[in-house]
Amino acid sequence: MTQLTINIEDKSILPHLKKILNAIEGVSIVKSSTKKKCGLEEALDDVKAGRVHHAKNVDEMFQHILGI
Q: What is the CA radius of gyration of the chain?
A: 23
Confidence of residue 31 (pLDDT cuts 50, 70, 90): confident
Confidence category of residue 24, pLDDT binned at 50, 70, 90: very high
Cα 56 from Cα 53, distance rounded (Å):
10
With 0.75 as the threshold, say if the pTM is over it.
Answer: no
Q: Please check the confidence at residue 68 and state whether its pLDDT lies above 90.
A: no
Q: Which of 25, 5, 4, 23 is nearest to 15 (CA)?
A: 23
41: left (phi over 0), alpha (psi -120 to 50) or beta: alpha
Average model confidence (pLDDT) for the chain? 90
